[in-house]
């Protein structure tokens, strides 16, 4: 599923972002989780000389087929504290996807649920529409 999501977003990128798959995100000196998919700001070296930091992330996606509790309870608050602007949790076992925005020190202020038949739009790219059914497809 991660590979399919990476391809889906790579096809929509049009040179506006870099798709990173299961690569480290440097939150601080002691934390480098590996999100499933990240849309990153373009970088001259394509992040070959450093790991991306929260300010480089446009959208972060966790595929939570077996890690839902850990993603919600551990990773999500850490992403919020670090200032990652938007996180989507996609659970292919369940509908809907969870969209988190407005990061703060304990997590996120805004949570939306999007189900089949709706479209998701990354905050950084309001012109990009993604069919939620595509995101949930196995």
Per domain, the residue ranges of the chain are 2-136
Q: How confident is the model at residue 65 (pLDDT cuts 50, 70, 90)?
A: confident
**Superfamily classification of domain 2-136:** tt1808, chain A (3.90.1570.10)
Predicted confidence band at 84 (pLDDT cuts at 50, 70, 90)? very high
Q: What is the pTM of this model?
A: 0.95
In the prediction, which pLDDT does 93 show? 83
Asked whether the CA dihedral 15, 19, 20, 21 is positive or negative, the reply is negative
Which pLDDT band holds residue 115 (cuts at 50, 70, 90)? very high
Q: Angle at the Cα of 66 (from 63 to 69), degrees rounded to 5?
A: 85
Taking a C-beta distance cutoff of 8 angstroms, is the pair 43, 15 a contact?
Answer: no
pLDDT tens, position by position, 90-109:
998 877 999 999 999 999 99
Q: Considering only residues 65 and 61, tell me which one the structure prediction assigns the higher pLDDT.
A: 61
Residue 63 reports pLDDT greater than 90: yes
CA dihedral 111, 72, 92, 114 (to 10 degrees): 0
Residues 47-56 have pLDDT tens digits of 999 999 999 9
> Rounded to the nearest 5°, which phi and psi values hold at 96?
-105, 180
Residues 82 and 54: beta-carbon distance below 8 Å: yes
Q: State how far the Cα of 90 lies from the Cα of 59, in Å rounded to an integer.
A: 13
* Per-residue pLDDT at 59: 98
Q: Can you tell me whether residue 62 is helix, strand or coil?
A: strand
Per-residue confidence (pLDDT) for residue 137, from 0 to 100: 84
pLDDT (tens digit per residue) in 116-137: 999 999 999 999 999 999 998 8
Query: What's the pLDDT at 130?
Result: 95
Asked if 132 contacts 120 with a C-beta cutoff of 8 angstroms, the reply is yes
């Amino acid at each position: 599923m991660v590979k399919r999501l990476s391809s889906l977003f790579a096809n929509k990128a049009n040179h506006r972002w870099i798709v990173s798959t299961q690569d480290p995100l440097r939150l601080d000196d002691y934390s480098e989780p590996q999100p499933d998919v990240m849309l990153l700001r373009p970088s001259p070296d394509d992040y070959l000389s450093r790991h991306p930091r929260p300010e480089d992330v446009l959208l972060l996606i966790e595929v939570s087929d077996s890690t839902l509790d850990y993603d919600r309870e551990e990773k999500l608050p850490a992403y919020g504290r670090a200032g990652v602007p938007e996180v989507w949790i996609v659970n292919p076992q369940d509908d809907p996807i969870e969209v988190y925005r407005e990061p703060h020190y304990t997590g996120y202020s805004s949570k939306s649920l999007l189900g089949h038949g709706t479209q998701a739009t990354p905050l950084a790219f309001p012109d990009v529409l993604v069919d939620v059914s595509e995101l949930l497809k196995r």
